Structure 1
Amino acid sequence: MSHELATIVLAACGGLLVIVGLLFFLRPRWLLGWLKGMAVFGLMLLGAYVLIIAINIAGYQSLEGMQTVATISTQRQGDQLWRVTLEPQNNAPYVETLRGDQWQVDARIIRFSGPLRWVGIAPGYRLERLGGRYTSLEQERAQPRSVVGLGEATWPDLWALDQEFNLPFIEGVYGNATFMPMRDGALFDVRLSSSGLVAVPVNEQAREAVQEWNQ
């Protein structure tokens, strides 16, 4: 489209919008009806947004300060094959067989701002996945992966919607994960704050595994 044609089209659209706006003022009933309709529509949108937040908050657990959210223990079953037990706080344990040299836990965190923070809604978390990792990059690319979901998906997914649309008053924290080496008889605490996950060795086997891993 040439600049001349674009100018004509835009001028016509602009003039039409001005005329439509003037008609609202010439007939106040139209304007009042339109304003009422927009106010009702805005309230409905706000109510739907609040309902979505409420539905999603029900699927998350409250997060205030640093707290232990789960424990993980590992038992060797074979070469790079492990029986991993994850025990979330106040939930039934997960007992899974994982392949690899390390375990990894992923979590989702939602933080609130504005009026949602003013009313005292604490950040929420949900443990998302438990999986195995290989130390070797070649194995990580070529060997079969073992990943277990830890939480049921909620629809609509507020965390995913925030990642895509940057929702108001919501902050879905991305990329929260922690991982540690496997060791027969090792026990770890998984701790979480509003900034992310941290794994802490609890017994001697876990501390030895971390010490060797860091060398």
Structure 2
Amino acid sequence: MSQDIALVALAAVGVVLALFGLAFFIRPRWFFSWLKGTLALFLIGAGAYVALLALDLRHYQSLDSMQTIATIGVSKTGPQAWRVRLERTEQPPLEVVIRGDQWQVDARIIRLAGPLNWLGVKPAYRLERLSGRYVSLEQERSGQRTVHPLGEESWFDTWVLDQSFGLPFVEAVYGNATFMPLRDGAIFDVRLSSTGLVALPGNEQAREAMEEWFPQAG
């Protein structure tokens, strides 16, 4: 089942549950017991919740397995200043300025659990932000920080609500790639699994930067 069909099925379940609950109010004779009224309210709430969940997941991309979700290209524009080009699947490229010595991408990951998992909705992700970092602790504290948001705002934010209150049948996970070195001409591949992000070198400049940086960092 494709992700689009699975999301439509998820939304349909929510609508059916909500309509079934509303039927109790349309037929007053069904209100002879407190149990039926309670059931009606439960169905309306459950249906609305599932439908809103499906609506919010439209802002996320489906995740099959470990896959490349973005490419990072770096070009130097000045001392500790870099132009970073972010290319994402099914979205226009984004160019931003990053200050510092390293870059990092953060992402949100949502997995459905329990009965909702039976609908076949795959884990979904959304890139959250792209940021820079200085190696020097003094610069990190006092230097110009650069953080660029990448996600779209949603009035019903499943990820935030689950982090704050623990929504039923939802698992919200925060993933980030290890800070990677900024190097003129370097290209990195950002890959994602259902557990987190990893950045890998995409060309020789990126490989050389990583070989120089990580032994030095250790």
Query: In 2, Cα distance between the equivalents of 1:176 and 1:205?
Result: 22
Query: In 1, Cα distance between the equivalents of 2:78 and 2:187?
Result: 18
- TM-score of the superposed pair, with normalisation by structure 2: 0.82
Q: Note the residue ranges of structure 2 that are not aligned, 5 or more in a row.
A: 1-28
Aligned residue type for 1:83 = R
After TM superposition, list the pairs within 5 Å mapping 1:50-129 onto structure 2: 50-129=50-129
| Structure-2 change in CA distance of 1:93 and 1:209 (3 Å) | same
Query: In 1, Cα distance between the equivalents of 2:117 and 2:141?
Result: 42
What's the CA shift for 1:56?
1.2
What's the CA shift for 1:176?
2.9
Q: Is the 8 A contact 1:106 1:178 kept in 2?
A: no
Query: In 2, Cα distance between the equivalents of 1:46 and 1:167?
Result: 12
For each residue in 1:86-119, what CA deviation from the matched residue of structure 2 results, as whole angstroms up to 9, or x when unmatched?
A: 0001110110111000111110000111112111
**Is 1:181 the counterpart of 2:181 in the alignment?**
yes
Q: Is the 8 A contact 1:105 1:129 kept in 2?
A: yes
Secondary structure at 1:45's aligned position in 2? helix
Q: Is the 8 A contact 2:175 2:195 kept in 1?
A: no
Q: Is the 8 A contact 2:177 2:199 kept in 1?
A: no
Q: Note the residue ranges of structure 1 that are not aligned, 5 or more in a row.
A: 1-28
Secondary structure at 1:178's aligned position in 2? coil
Query: In 1, Cα distance between the equivalents of 2:176 and 2:45?
Result: 31
Query: In 2, Cα distance between the equivalents of 1:129 and 1:214?
Result: 23
Percent identity reads 61
CA RMSD of the aligned region, Å? Answer: 1.6
Query: In 2, Cα distance between the equivalents of 1:211 and 1:172?
Result: 34
What's the CA shift for 1:178?
3.5
Query: In 2, Cα distance between the equivalents of 1:175 and 1:166?
Result: 18
Secondary structure at 1:58's aligned position in 2? helix
What's the CA shift for 1:32?
3.5
Alignment-derived partner of residue 20 in structure 1: none
Query: In 1, Cα distance between the equivalents of 2:44 and 2:179?
Result: 44
Aligned residue type for 2:150 = L
What's the CA shift for 1:174?
2.4
Q: Is the 8 A contact 2:188 2:203 kept in 1?
A: yes
Q: Is the 8 A contact 2:68 2:191 kept in 1?
A: yes
Alignment-derived partner of residue 33 in structure 2: 33
Query: In 2, Cα distance between the equivalents of 1:189 and 1:53?
Result: 30
Alignment-derived partner of residue 149 in structure 2: 149
Aligned residue type for 1:188 = F
Aligned residue type for 2:123 = P
Alignment-derived partner of residue 136 in structure 2: 136
How many residues align? The count is 187
Alignment-derived partner of residue 11 in structure 1: none
Moved over 4 A (4+): none
